[in-house]
């Protein structure tokens, strides 16, 4: 039950916020919204207010906002055209469509903001947990328990700082300042170029010295202003990493078997919920970014496809013909249908142990 309720909480929250983006901008422009639905299929529950049907539908795998004049060839009475989506300038239609994915990025930042404000910022301390024998660090005399203070004169406060400075160094010899007990020591070490795999499974060459972190974490409290800045940075980092992941899938660097659908999302939501609300909401933020990027892909029937058509309309001064639009929609449905079949196959194959589980985000 934990898995089911966690899945419904995460997915319905993401869908609601996405559709709220479309809804809010549509209403700001005075476009009549006929229906706001969480889910597809038969209507289960809802209410009507100010001409809009707010409802929950049977299939919780998506949602939609239905606007007056949204459908092709929809007849709109002359007296209501000022309320019609299709009779609005192209920039207004584009903003309404873009507001959905934007809302997903905004939701991620809001979640990261409150996690940072309430819980704080976890910092992996720059303390050595182990030293590989016969490594540059071992030859330089580094020991377990040593704490990095500076790398080449640059102060370090976290293991991330240490790793970043060492991997970005192109010098033959690094000056490390460490703390050992009550003593401050200066150590010089020459990194070795090693071949390792990055998060996408690609082999890359990086300078390493042969140490691992102790795993000790300090929680740093942050004020609202810093939490806002850090939440923006974190959202950007997740966005960049997610986009790189999409590109790597297209390049076939990352196998298609890593893609997952509702079953995998439900499993991961359940696992995160068992670890606590903090983990569940962090997972929700990462998934929200994924949903935002997915919807911006220039595939017809997705928001990105509509934005692509609006860009063409803005450039050429007129929309695509009905025949061109129908053909594009059919291609988009084919792509989306194929993708859905693939992720459902992956989900089932993963349950049967035919393909490996996807690592946690």
**Helix residue ranges, H only, the chain:** 2-28, 90-118, 136-140, 159-167, 224-250, 262-275, 277-296, 303-316, 322-351
Mean pLDDT over each residue of the chain, to the nearest integer: 87
pLDDT bracket for residue 355 (50, 70, 90): low
pLDDT value for 357: 63
pLDDT at 356 over 70: no
Domain 123-219, CATH among 2.30.42.10, 3.20.20.190, 2.60.40.1930, 3.20.20.70:
2.30.42.10
Mean pLDDT of 91-95: 95
Considering the chain, tell me which residue range(s) the CATH 2.30.42.10 domain(s) occupy: 123-219
pLDDT at 107 over 90: yes
Higher model confidence: residue 339 or residue 222?
Answer: 222
Higher model confidence: residue 275 or residue 101?
Answer: 101
pLDDT bracket for residue 34 (50, 70, 90): very high
Minimum mean pLDDT range among 31-35, 61-65, 91-95, 319-323: 319-323
Residues 162-199 pLDDT 10s: 998 888 877 678 899 999 999 999 999 989 888 887 77
pLDDT at 114 over 90: yes
pLDDT at 160 over 80: yes
Mean pLDDT of 196-223: 86
Residues tagged active-site: 19
Mean pLDDT of 221-229: 94
pLDDT at 6 over 90: no
Q: Pairing mode, if any, of strands 147-151 and 121-124?
A: unpaired
What tokens appear for 141 in the block? 């005399």
DSSP string, 141-203: T--TT-EEEEETTEE--SHHHHHHHHHT---SSEEEEEEETTEEEEEEE--EEEEEE-TTS-E
pLDDT at 359 over 60: no
Q: Which of 89, 77, 87, 70 is nearest to 22 (CA)?
A: 70
pLDDT value for 103: 97
Mean pLDDT of 33-44: 91
pLDDT bracket for residue 308 (50, 70, 90): very high
Q: Position of tokens 């909401």? A: 281
pLDDT value for 111: 96
Q: How does DSSP classify residue 172?
A: S
pLDDT at 75 over 90: no
pTM: 0.86
- Give Cα 168 distance to the centre of its chain: 26
């Amino acid at each position: 039950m934990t898995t089911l309720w966690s899945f419904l909480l995460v997915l319905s929250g993401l869908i609601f916020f996405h559709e709220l983006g479309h809804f809010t901008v549509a209403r700001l422009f005075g476009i009549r919204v006929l229906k706001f639905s969480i889910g597809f299929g038969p209507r289960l529950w809802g209410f009507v207010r100010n001409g809009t049907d707010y409802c929950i539908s049977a299939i919780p795998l998506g949602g939609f906002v239905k606007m007056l004049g949204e459908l092709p060839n929809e007849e709109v009475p002359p007296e209501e055209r000022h309320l019609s989506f299709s009779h609005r300038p192209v920039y207004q239609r584009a903003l309404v469509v873009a507001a959905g994915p934007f809302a997903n990025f905004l939701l991620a930042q809001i979640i990261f903001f409150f996690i940072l404000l309430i819980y704080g910022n976890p910092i992996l301390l720059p303390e050595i947990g182990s030293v590989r024998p016969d490594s540059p660090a071992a030859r330089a005399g580094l020991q377990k328990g040593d704490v990095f203070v500076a790398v080449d004169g640059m102060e370090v406060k976290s293991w991330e700082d240490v790793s970043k400075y060492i991997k970005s160094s192109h010098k033959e010899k690094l000056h490390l300042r460490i703390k050992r007990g009550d003593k401050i020591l200066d150590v010089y070490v020459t990194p070795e170029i090693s071949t390792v795999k990055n998060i996408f499974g690609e082999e890359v060459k990086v300078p390493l010295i042969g140490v691992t972190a102790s795993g000790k974490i300090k929680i740093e409290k942050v004020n609202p202003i810093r939490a806002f800045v850090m939440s923006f940075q974190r959202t950007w980092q997740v966005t960049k990493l997610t986009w790189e992941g999409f590109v790597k899938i297209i390049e076939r660097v990352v196998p298609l078997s890593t893609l997952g659908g509702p079953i995998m999302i439900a499993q991961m939501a359940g696992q995160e919920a068992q670890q606590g609300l903090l983990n569940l909401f962090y997972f929700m933020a990462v998934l929200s970014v994924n949903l935002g990027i997915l919807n911006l892909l220039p595939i017809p029937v997705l928001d990105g496809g509509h934005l692509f058509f609006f860009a063409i309309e803005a450039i050429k001064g007129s929309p695509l013909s009905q025949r061109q639009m129908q053909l594009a929609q059919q291609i988009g449905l084919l792509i989306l249908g194929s993708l859905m079949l693939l992720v459902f196959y992956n989900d089932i194959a993963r349950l049967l142990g035919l393909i490996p589980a996807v690592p946690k985000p």
